[in-house]
Amino acid sequence: MSTPARRIAAWLAAILVLLAASLFFYIRSFGLHQAPRPDPHATPASLAYLKDSVGERRGRILAVVSSTATMAGGKKKAGYELTELARAYYVFQANGFEVDIASPAGGKPPARIDTDDMQDVDYAFLNDAAAQRKVGASLPLADVDATRYAAVYFVGGKGAMFDFPGNGDIARIVREIAPRGVVGAVCHGPAALLDVTLDNGAPLVANRRMTGFTNDEELFLMEDARRILPFLLEERARERGARFVGGPQFVDTTVVDGRLVTGQNPWSTWSVAEAMVRTLGHEPLAREATPEERSVRMLAAYYREGLEAGRAMQAAQGAQAAQFDRSLVLLHALVAVMQWRVKDAFQLQRLARG
């Protein structure tokens, strides 16, 4: 390499180092390193929410998870999302409902656990001996007596796209519960509902408002989703005649249509579970919102009306306003950069400042 070329290479290396250092200190300035961390040793007894559980027994809810562990010829993990089960499980339990867990194959279903998404409530579920006995020996759907349940809740995760649609036992359970109880699903969980037909042969979801993981969300996270998945959930729902409601990407959107309750993505889990409790005739037990939820509410306000609305939502949360998940807001800013939404990227990092 000639001397001028070496000098240019050295300058480029120095510039890259300076840029990397600047980025490091810029991100550090948000105080992410000081944010409270979830407790891996959390238990149900340590959750303030559960200490205030209602005393009465209000019935049983069936939570259904996928038995499909992998997709794409075993190259990608599928399974069910642990957070979508754990958070709903404790909402139902705290509000007086016993929860049973079932899966197409029965036994121990494959969980997808992302430690970046875990909160105390999720670790509490992993450390809950009673809950782990249920999930470790899930009921085979073929053995489920649907008359025992006030509601059924379909947990998401990519596995649901493979063993929920067309499952005869799911159709049997939904047909039994839907006329008198509540049918709920979150993220990919609504895939369970798309092949269920009514007595007149019409799809269950036809002319019903519903949501689920959107095309935009799916294709952003997995560009080859059309090749790997059997279908895209939003497209199939529309084909079945559903009035599909898609909210902003990766923000809570929960839709209630009569006794049908659906949520768009994992951030909808809390609101889906509480909407199911409300639809069953009970006001959900009050609880303190998590930092993640506060961030999602700010983001939803931002996407509806802009930066000032996001800041107003933060201020409306009172003394807890500063306790939000800045990393989640910054993640949305990063997504905006990747999608060339420059204005959103700039505004969202400002929102993350608080």
The answer to whether position 48 is within a domain reads yes
Whether residues 222 and 294 share a domain: the answer is no
The answer to whether position 237 is within a domain reads yes
Whether residues 272 and 292 share a domain: the answer is no
- The confidence score (pLDDT) of residue 6 equals 61
Per-residue pLDDT, averaged over 281-287, amounts to 96
Which among 248, 279, 310 is the end of a domain? 279
Whether residues 68 and 144 share a domain: the answer is yes
Whether residues 248 and 330 share a domain: the answer is no
Contacts for 151 with CB less than 8 Å, ≥ 6 apart? 61, 62, 97, 177, 181, 182, 183, 184, 276, 280
Residue 178: which domain range?
A: 44-279
Instruction: Centre a 10 Å sphere on the Cβ of residue 54 and count the other Cβ atoms it contains.
Output: 14
Count structural domains, the chain: 2
Contacts for 180 with CB less than 8 Å, ≥ 6 apart? none
Q: DSSP label at 33?
A: G
Whether residues 48 and 185 share a domain: the answer is yes
Per-residue pLDDT, averaged over 227-243, amounts to 97
Whether residues 166 and 308 share a domain: the answer is no
Separation CA 178–CA 190 (nearest Å): 14
Separation CA 44–CA 49 (nearest Å): 9
Cβ-contact 162, 194 below 8 angstroms: no
Q: What is the pTM of this model?
A: 0.92
Bigger pLDDT: 35 vs 290: 290
Whether residues 328 and 190 share a domain: the answer is no
Whether residues 292 and 201 share a domain: the answer is no
Whether residues 312 and 214 share a domain: the answer is no
Whether residues 113 and 192 share a domain: the answer is yes
The answer to whether position 112 is within a domain reads yes
The answer to whether position 199 is within a domain reads yes
Whether residues 219 and 274 share a domain: the answer is yes
> Which of the four pLDDT bands, split at 50, 70 and 90, describes residue 15?
low
For 250-271, the pLDDT digits (tens) are 999 999 999 999 999 999 999 9
For 72-102, the pLDDT digits (tens) are 888 889 999 999 999 999 999 999 999 999 9
> Which of the four pLDDT bands, split at 50, 70 and 90, describes residue 323?
confident
Which among 258, 279, 300 is the end of a domain? 279
Distance between start and end Cα atoms, the chain: 49
Range with the lowest mean pLDDT among 24-38, 90-104, 147-161? 24-38
Which among 256, 279, 302 is the end of a domain? 279
Alpha helices in 229-341, H assignment, sequence order: 233-239, 269-279, 291-305, 307-316, 326-338
Whether residues 267 and 336 share a domain: the answer is no
